[in-house]
Chain A
Amino acid sequence: MEKTVLHLRLENLSAQLRDASQDTWLASLNLDLVASSIHWQTAMKAVSGEAEDLAVGLDEALKDLSKDPSTAAAAWHLYFRTKARSDDIFREYLMILGGLALRDRMKNELICPFADELIRECALSVGRPTSFAIPAFDDAISSTLRRVARIAFPDLNLWTLPLVAHEYGHIVLRETQLEKLVKELVTDGVRAPTLAALNELRQSIGLPSNLRDFGAKWITQAEGAIYTAPQILQQMANSLAMLGEDSPPRVQEIGAQLTELLSATTTRVRVLLADAFATYTCGPAYANAAILLRLSPAQPGSRDRPPDSSRADTILAMLGAMGEGHGGPQRFQQTEAWLRSAWEMSTTSIDVPADDGAAAHIEIDADYVLDRMRFLIPNPKAEYDQENWNAATNLGSKWQGQIAAGETLEVQSSASLRDVINAAWWARSLVLSKFDVETVDSAVSRIVTAATACCEKRVEVQPDADGGVFLRKSHRPPVGEREHSNGIRPVR
């Protein structure tokens, strides 16, 4: 039975991975929501590809096992390495299937289709394939397999819609020249601690006297290539092994330490750059949503995420940098000023927790990042510029005036989603500052209704072949039959 157990585990896992690579499960769900095949395949490409590669590896192991039973130990090790990686794949798949099934059930819910459209606008502007959004839990764990944006459940409302740009930003960072910017910032961040560790290694490496120069040359090489220092140390260990020498323990320890530092710092840089990207493409709407509704001054950093204070600093700095250099008042000056004031007030009233030191401390130079983004993203319309801001503030101010005058709010079909959500936030800020407490709630509710109507018009006018990721097999009830209340759309 023991040989059978190994065989059946290898066979089962291989079969499950092939199901993942061939999208067997999506077809069996028979959802009312039908994904356009090109969008689905693009979204699932990394997951399917990884699943197929792992299945091939398992099949090879099965063949080797059949020919030579003494390979059982190696096959067990391969099985469990593959299982660990497969668990990530299946977890991603389940999250996506569950999110789609939830979207399918929430037939009158509109935030997900709006999020699809916002992603489409961002994708067009950076020249990348679009993606789609699913309701999921914001667990702050990013996956290199993921090409689907998450909308934090149950926070599905218009005000948090801009946050999906951060999710898409992770995809853009992996798939465009912005990956270079990630490496630049990581290298700068880890330079000092890496050089310190390598210097310590130089002093204490403990090699025999005939190999000290050999070791010193490798360390010098690592010092000149900070980003690949861990790999260079591994190569040094391999070279020593070829010479019949044991690698000093300190080499392995420093190598592991630098690998961990690099990995944690890279994760943090990605989060900060995704914030920068979201601010770059969606402007003040993203800053408002993140700072007012999501980031917490009490949230410390961890291995997988920077402290929220770093994120807030990045977003505000980007907003400031984007608004400069146009002559006259800065573009986003008022928004930046009051968000900064609100954030600083909140941080002065608590003890901001210390960073855990798992990663290098990163401070984003917003001017530099903005310049690099303008260079690395060829389309200038990707940036939320003065034209966009004028359109948004004009619409938002018009709404505020119409509410004050008791008039019907204007619904524009031509406004982009980025402009509509910025208009909504602008109008909200005007209403909160000018209206009485008794009338604020109803005013905000009217803004949500008008903004939602604008977004619906925008989504409806997009041709399916170009923009629509999903179609419903069944008909959706018209706008008048749905209820809105302060942006909360109940699951029906």
Chain B
Amino acid sequence: MKNAVNLQPSKLLDARVESLRRDLEAALVAVDVLPERLGSRLTGGLRNELSLALNELTAQLVKPLAAGDIYPGDAWARLHACQLQSAALTAHTLQLVSGAALRVGNSATTPAAMCVVADALGDEIVSRTTLGGWGSFTILGSDESYIHSSRAIVVPFPTQPIWTISIVAHELGHFAARSLTEFHHGTSHNLVDELHQRQAGAFPWYWVEELFADAFATWTIGPAYALTCVSFSFDPLLANIPSTTHPCNSLRVDLMSALLSRSINSDERSVATMIAGCWESLVSASEADPATSETETRATAQLVEACLTVLDRLPEASYSSQSEAGRLSFNLSAENLKLDTEIRDVINAAWLARLRAKNSIEIDEINRRAIRLAEVVATGGSP
């Protein structure tokens, strides 16, 4: 028989392990060759996780297989476990590198143009907190989210730039929730974990983190975030129905309104009242299912106080220049910018202008002007 072949079946497992090893190495290479302006922002989180997965693979499989120290059944089980872990990491890597690849060109019309502004907004917020540094960037995705391994923030695509960019603040809230710690009684404590413990099981921890992220966004970016949620994001049909990952929208709106109503700024307090009223009308107009006895729809005063206890440790991060936003809202032009005007001011100014707008043509013009202003502030460019 021509070229008789005798391939040992055990090579199948070796081939798989080798293939997985190559996948992880290729993912590391892909992260290393991100465009410089984005790669330089990235801290080592994702690289470390990929390297850890490689080390785990070597320790669990490569070495034992080479030494003949592992039963095939155990080896396949370990391979399966490694593959599951690696699948998540390589998915995050792909999301990051393809999202970075989409951020090409300088044109304001590219789908990812607002990511430049979103990055600057993230930097602006984090610089006012006690957090060491965000160390990542924004990318486009199908839903807004925060990727823990790379700290990347996913901004939904397609997007209404100036009206939805405040979502970045909520996603940063997830970063803050995992990072805000205090050292007392000889150990380091995560402040949001303590917040959850104080709730005594009223909410699952992942709901607490979502509610904290809402509170963080409201604290750092003012009414713009709540306006975005009610106008664009939250589904009134599901107002009183929680999901497996998020509390019901009514609870979230209630929390944000309660926080805004405590503001010393009268404009913010009046927006709080308007948002709460608008949400109730939306829920009614959409004929949403009513709240059940099992549904927690009203934010307890305790929850609001608990969030404030954490956020009061970040006084510099609190959005307090609503008056500047008010001034800017009457003239959204570069000549009207001051040296200390921030992106948060531009976003809130745009919303204030929008609430006074008479028609959709005016709203489009406000959007266009505000985007340009935000880009000027973000890039430090000349007006």
Contacts and interface: CB of A to CB of B under 8 A. Distances in A.
Contacts of B360: 8, 11
Interface in B121-162: 140-143, 157-158, 160
B202 interface: no
Interface residues of A, number: 74
Given A90-B157, A338-B7, A349 B73 contact: yes
B23 A342 contact: no
A76 B3 contact: no
Contacts of B90: 137, 153-154
Nearest to B158: A16
Contacts of B101: 98, 101-102, 104-105
A30 B110 contact: yes
A365 to B, nearest CB: 26
B25 A488 contact: yes
Nearest to A154: B26
A80 B29 CA distance: 41
B22 interface: yes
Contacts of B110: 28-30
Nearest to B92: A137
B98 A338 contact: no
B183 to A, nearest CB: 40
B98 A293 contact: no
Which residue of B3, B80, B104 has the most chain A CB atoms within 10 A of its CB atom?
B3
A349 B76 contact: yes
B380 interface: no
Interface in B342-374: 355, 360, 363
Interface size class of B (residues with CB under 8 A): 35 or more
A310 interface: no
Given A2-B281, A11-B360, A101-B102, A87 B142 contact: yes
A77 B237 contact: yes
A194 interface: no
Given A28-B110, A153-B90, A429-B7, A1 B278 contact: yes
Contact of A491 (B3, B19, B33, B235): B33
B278 A102 contact: no
B339 interface: no
A338 B158 contact: no
A93 B35 CA distance: 22
Contact of B102 (A29, A334, A492): A29
A490 B281 CA distance: 56
Interface in A67-90: 72-73, 76-77, 80, 87, 90
Nearest to A297: B76
A135 B98 contact: yes
Interface stretch (B9-17, B207-215, B217-225, B246-254): B9-17
A430 interface: yes
A345 B8 CA distance: 10
A349 to B, nearest CB: 3
Interface stretch (B57-65, B257-265, B282-290, B293-301): B282-290
B99 A98 contact: yes
Given A101-B102, A488-B25, A136 B94 contact: yes
B9 A19 contact: no
Contact of A293 (B19, B27, B237): B19
A184 B69 CA distance: 48
Interface in A307-340: 329, 334, 338
B76 A430 contact: no
Contacts of A344: 9
Contacts of A19: 158
B180 interface: no
A33 to B, nearest CB: 11
B348 to A, nearest CB: 17
Interface in A33-59: none
A94 B112 CA distance: 11
Nearest to B143: A87
B98 A101 contact: yes
9 contacts: A1-B281, A29-B111, A139-B91, A298-B76, A338-B6, A341-B9, A393-B3, A488-B26, A490-B29
6 interchain residue pairs of minimum CB distance: A98-B98, A349-B72, A101-B101, A154-B26, A345-B9, A2-B281
Given A76-B236, A90-B158, A98-B101, 12 more contacts: A11-B360, A28-B111, A98-B98, A155-B19, A155-B26, A292-B12, A296-B79, A334-B1, A334-B5, A341-B9, A346-B76, A350-B76
